[in-house]
Amino acid sequence: MKPIIDASIFLGMNHVDEGIRKLCVDIIIKNISTGLEINLEQIGLCDKVIWDRSRHEQDLYYPFMDYLHTVMPFDRVSYTDEAYYVGPTDTRFNHLPVLQSILAAHTVLKDIPLITLDKKLINTYSLRDNVVILSQDKISALEFPTPLNTLYLDSLNLLLNSNEVGND
pLDDT of 138 above 90: no
Domains of the chain with bracketed CATH:
4-157 (3.40.50.1010)
How high is the pLDDT of residue 136?
Answer: 85
How high is the pLDDT of residue 135?
Answer: 87
Q: Which residues, other chains included, contact 64 with Cβ-Cβ below 8 Å and sequence gap of 6+?
A: 148, 151, 152, 154, 155
pLDDT of 74 above 90: yes
Average pLDDT over residues 60-70: 97
Q: How confident is the model at residue 116 (pLDDT cuts 50, 70, 90)?
A: very high
Q: What is the pTM (predicted TM-score) of this model?
A: 0.96
